[in-house]
Structure 1
Amino acid sequence: MCATANGARGRAGGITTGEPADPVRRTWAQVHDEARRMAGALAAEGVRRGDAVAVLAGEAARIAPAAQAVWLVGGSVTMLHQPTPRTDLSVWATDTLRVLGMIQTRLVLLGDPFTPLKDVLTERGVRFRELSGLAGRPLAEPAAVAEDDTALLQLTSGSTAAPKAVRITHGNLLANTNAMTEVAGLDVEHDLLVSWLPLFHDMGMVGCLTIPMALGLELVKVTPADFLGRPLLWMELISRYRGTVTAGPNFSYAVTGRQLRKATDLDLDLSTLRFALNGAEPIDPAAVQTFVEAGSRFGLRPECVVCAYGMAESTLGVAFAPRDRGMEIDVVDADALEARRRAVPAGEGAESRNTRAFPLLGPPLPGLEARVVDDSGHVLGEREVGIIRLRGSSITPGYLTVDGPVAAQDAEGWLDTGDEGYLVDGQVVVCGRRKDVIIMGGRNIYPTDIERAACEVAGVRAGNAVAVRLHGTGRRERFAVAVESRLAGDTDAERDLRKQVAARVLDAVGVRPYSVIVLPPASLPKTPSGKLRRAAAREHLGDFIDS
């Protein structure tokens, strides 16, 4: 990062922020100069090698030099979960104090739009500095750090009341950065990355900020609020800046695809986009297809889509599908998958016409290896479904928890991902999270199949359906489906919507939900990065379900 900033790429590449109202561009050399002044101030504050520094800010223009500054003095960066307008600040403060205590933070760096929270931090005795005034004598030389020193403490997306942080070392970060750069074929002379991703999420912080800073890659960065307020801004920026690389979770492609399909007066050119990574949550082939078909009207090439598998425990990337081939899916017999845990290709000895389609996510990135094991730890063969395990240079050594550090790897260096899947022709396929699987009559049904079916019903908000297993009480196994809809509160409309959702789920997976609950928008519990929290949803829905 220092070499890039002090070389030709530091003067040529840079970051543009402030779109669409007030765009400002700074070179990476300028960002680094600010970081050195911030680092001088941190050193004067007593921050040293090994210290944990937390950041609560929303603007990439402030976060980029702040993160560099922490690394320059040898510290680690923790991006705190950010409160929203609906957040109960007293609850947020209590949860944040748990996090700060867990990571033993030395200091909190506070920036817009969260500077009004300084009174909350002061009341609770939290030591902080505002980024707007953080400047000192430029640090002469970066502190010496080892490969196993901590670079990032990435907060997981679970309950903030029982926080956990993934410890990412400098060695992990370098290995994953190099691997993703190689497989994505990043060309710092010609590529331009456009991103709206939150920087408290690993895909935003590592993939869409750290990598551009390290390589000197041109970056156009807006906030998640900018995207959510107007999703087509994402495509407009790709068109305006001739973006070649971008990334987002499946829901963002689903939303954007629908809006592109409805648009009648857009003047866009998406022909420059060559690498559109889809990851961070289960990938819906139908949503990707809608995005590709709607975007083709504006020059979008289907082969630009890259389906990916990643997790914070691997720093970010685990597997990327091959470039320039577009989404490739594996269609398998659903009965064999659910009953015998084998991914039998449809049409090749298939037991029924009922099928499931999973995106091929590519081979493990360089430096990583993957295998699939059964519940006893025995390694399974190709197309046999089990738990995915990972090993390699990008894998975290462990977690920080409120009860102390916890190892992430077994004695042989393998990480249990908790994801169910299989391998085919060297590529990884993910079926779902083991803890979320719904077991009905001996069949393993993945909630994503149920949720996608529910979202196909008109009136259900896209990406806002959740399927949860109901705890048994001596009766047969059951599950419930909750959907968000603007029709909530209209008794007749709700009744009709429940019937349609139940019928669509029955048609898709062959079983009928015990209960369908219609909720108003923004009711379902989600992680700070926007993923549905199924375990929390089960608790939330308890009052609606006669179990």
Structure 2
Amino acid sequence: MSPAPETLPAVLDEAARRSGSRRLVFPEAGQSCTVAELAHRSALFADVLLTHEVGRDEVVGLLAEPGAAFFTAFFGVLRHGAAATAMPALTGLGSARAQAERLAPLVDTTRMRHLVVAPELAACAEHLTRLRPTLRLIPMDAAGTVARTGDPDPSALAIVQFTSGSTSAPRGVTLTHSAAVHGVEALARACEVTGQDVWVNWLPHYHDFGLVTDLVQLFHGGDLHILSPLTLIRRPRAFLEYVAASGGTCLAGPDFCYQRMAEVADPDWISTLDLSRLRLCLNGAEPVRPETLERFARAVEAAGAPPNVLCPGYGLAEATLVAALSVPGAPPRIAYVHREHLAAGRIERVLPGDRAAKAVVSAGRPVASVRTRVIDSDGKPCPEGALGEIQLMGRSLTTAYLHDEAVTAASFDGPWLRTGDLGFLLDGHLFIAGRSKEMIIVRGVNYFPEDAEAVAKAVPGVHRERCVAFAMRPTDPDEHLMLVAESESEDPAEHTRLAGEIAARISGHLGLAAVRVHIVPPRWLPKTTSGKWRRGAARDRLLAEAPPARGR
């Protein structure tokens, strides 16, 4: 028996030999190709890099919309022996100049010399070269004349993945071929992916959730359909209609995308769809809300989907996406714990209807490539039922942040990666409580921002449940919890009324008088490229604008 392939190009070639007729479909671009064609085209693209004098071991940027050309270039770069980083840009998301300004720090962080550019983002690339004149552009639609099939060393750098929101101060996660292969394999096994699966993906390829789930399906599944991220966000009904028409079995995304689909899935409409093949909907990258599990399950059940299709998990770019995952098809595990005691670091089970109950969804158990532990503030392992920082170790993890020794040193506790996430273990299952750096401390008492946000979202007048909470002026005598909520109203009197109601509800729910609320227009709150709220960026913007505080 031949040894298992240990690099991403070798895994692609093995998939092409095994089942090369499987297809990648890009319906909005009117493109498709087989896995075998992708393997061959990527070998030709490696020749393009050679003619452009791209050095081995350098980091090459990829700037493209979803399409076959991106994956051709991605694997071509890896075959050449260089590392690839997908740049976060899409047409329709700001001007070409504005996007170029956001990309310039990524060029600096990677010390990038070459950028492979698709025609649809040529204007952005041109602006970028004006900002960084030493950057050389390579057309993504170029074709080589010789198929170059060299295989890099498994320990060589393969992917640089920028963490969510890291654009002004970019932090590049480095993944070797070996780490990426182990991570993709672990996720495929945990998801029980087979050649019968049809994966419909909308997640951007420049985010780890999108890229790694694409690779899982490319290497281990059946056909892969990739839509624009804007399709689900702007036209969730059209996305669900496509899932039904293509016989989709697997989806992935953060909690908000399932909220979005459940919002538009009225029974009369969704019952006309056939979602009976849907079996797995990965839910991760942000806190999983119990109400989302219930609403989405109820919505797709009306279209014939089996129960418990939502599969909560926990992951991060540093772990090649996945660290823990629930069992596909199993009922979700929800722990109801005392909110105040949890914030203080203790886990006390309460009844679901208890006024102090906080519902926390299990992320499942660690996947095969990862070991997990929870550490207290003294650096000692926590027993089950105690809150602490989640740390990870395993074959699919990064070992460094690109060109940043100080951040790398601060991010590891010996061989263990410090995630900065708070969680606890119950019955061997991992529960995620929040981010340690986002914990709100007011007069010595801890509060989770998600608790305040959950209260505010339910207040009529908050636009599309869009709000964030964070600590403001965290020093005496004026420390308080600040919540910023979006509203469609332009009436200052309505803003005052809405802010007062939100503040009163949060104060009553959390037992906290030091609450202030500020109302902003729609689309004011910043998000990451994967759709997560950027609480720190919202606080910085609020401080820059110096608004009058409303609330208590």
TM-score (norm: length of structure 1) = 0.92
CA contact (8 A) 1:270 1:298 kept: yes
CA 195–67 in structure 1, closer or farther in 2 if over 3 Å, else same: same
Superposed, which structure 2 residues align to 1:58-77 within 5 Å? 58-77=65-84
CA 405–345 in structure 1, closer or farther in 2 if over 3 Å, else same: closer
CA 45–84 in structure 1, closer or farther in 2 if over 3 Å, else same: closer
Superposed, which structure 2 residues align to 1:379-458 within 5 Å? 379-401=381-403, 406-407=408-409, 410=412, 412-458=414-460
For the pair 1:103 / 2:110, whether they are aligned, the reply is yes
CA 24–231 in structure 1, closer or farther in 2 if over 3 Å, else same: same
Structure 2: segments with no counterpart, 5+ residues: 1-10
Aligned twin of 1:328: 333
Range with bigger deviation, 308-317 or 298-307: 298-307
CA contact (8 A) 2:346 2:387 kept: yes
Shift of 1:192: 0.7
Superposed, which structure 2 residues align to 1:103-502 within 5 Å? 103-124=110-131, 125=133, 126-132=135-141, 134-142=142-150, 144-188=151-195, 190-207=196-213, 209-215=214-220, 217-261=222-266, 264=269, 267-339=272-344, 341-347=345-351, 353-401=355-403, 406-407=408-409, 410=412, 412-475=414-477, 477-487=479-489, 489-502=490-503
Q: Provide the rounded CA distance (Å) in 1 between the counterparts of 2:447 and 2:174.
A: 33
CA 157–390 in structure 1, closer or farther in 2 if over 3 Å, else same: same
CA contact (8 A) 2:442 2:479 kept: yes
Aligned twin of 1:15: 24
Shift of 1:266: 5.8
Q: Provide the rounded CA distance (Å) in 2 between the counterparts of 1:359 and 1:518.
A: 30
Superposed, which structure 2 residues align to 1:1-40 within 5 Å? 1-11=11-21, 13-19=22-28, 23-40=30-47
Range with bigger deviation, 262-271 or 249-258: 262-271
Shift of 1:476: 5.4
Shift of 1:95: 4.4
CA 60–520 in structure 1, closer or farther in 2 if over 3 Å, else same: same
> For each residue in 1:327-378, what CA deviation from the matched residue of structure 2 results, as whole angstroms up to 9, or x when unmatched?
2211112232123x11211149x9x741100001111111211111111101
Shift of 1:104: 2.1
> For each residue in 1:470-495, what CA deviation from the matched residue of structure 2 results, as whole angstroms up to 9, or x when unmatched?
123422531111111212x1223323
CA contact (8 A) 2:116 2:138 kept: yes
Q: Provide the rounded CA distance (Å) in 2 between the counterparts of 1:432 and 1:265.
A: 34
CA 183–443 in structure 1, closer or farther in 2 if over 3 Å, else same: same
CA contact (8 A) 1:4 1:215 kept: no
Superposed, which structure 2 residues align to 1:79-90 within 5 Å? 79-82=86-89, 85=92, 87=94, 90=97
Q: Provide the rounded CA distance (Å) in 2 between the counterparts of 1:307 and 1:103.
A: 33
> For each residue in 1:352-408, what CA deviation from the matched residue of structure 2 results, as whole angstroms up to 9, or x when unmatched?
741100001111111211111111101110010011111111110010256788347
Aligned twin of 2:8: none
Q: Provide the rounded CA distance (Å) in 2 between the counterparts of 1:517 and 1:527.
A: 21
Q: Provide the rounded CA distance (Å) in 2 between the counterparts of 1:408 and 1:67.
A: 31
Q: Provide the rounded CA distance (Å) in 1 between the counterparts of 2:338 and 2:221.
A: 46
TM-score (norm: length of structure 2) = 0.91
Superposed, which structure 2 residues align to 1:513-532 within 5 Å? 514-532=515-533
> For each residue in 1:272-299, what CA deviation from the matched residue of structure 2 results, as whole angstroms up to 9, or x when unmatched?
1111110011111112211111222112
> For each residue in 1:219-274, what CA deviation from the matched residue of structure 2 results, as whole angstroms up to 9, or x when unmatched?
11101112222012221122111111110111100111111137647621112111
Shift of 1:89: 5.2
Q: Provide the rounded CA distance (Å) in 2 between the counterparts of 1:386 and 1:373.
A: 5
Superposed, which structure 2 residues align to 1:525-544 within 5 Å? 525-542=526-543, 543-544=546-547
Range with bigger deviation, 297-306 or 164-173: 297-306
Shift of 1:436: 0.6
CA 109–378 in structure 1, closer or farther in 2 if over 3 Å, else same: same
Q: Provide the rounded CA distance (Å) in 2 between the counterparts of 1:167 and 1:274.
A: 32
Paired-residue identity, %: 30
> For each residue in 1:495-540, what CA deviation from the matched residue of structure 2 results, as whole angstroms up to 9, or x when unmatched?
3322332233234323256321111111112222221111111111
Range with bigger deviation, 475-484 or 495-504: 495-504
The size of the alignment, in residue pairs, is 536
Shift of 1:131: 1.1
1:373 maps to a residue whose letter is I
CA contact (8 A) 2:423 2:433 kept: yes
Give the match's secondary structure for 1:483: strand
CA 404–68 in structure 1, closer or farther in 2 if over 3 Å, else same: farther
CA contact (8 A) 2:423 2:431 kept: yes
1:140 maps to a residue whose letter is R
1:304 maps to a residue whose letter is V
CA contact (8 A) 2:24 2:33 kept: yes
Structure 1: segments with no counterpart, 5+ residues: none
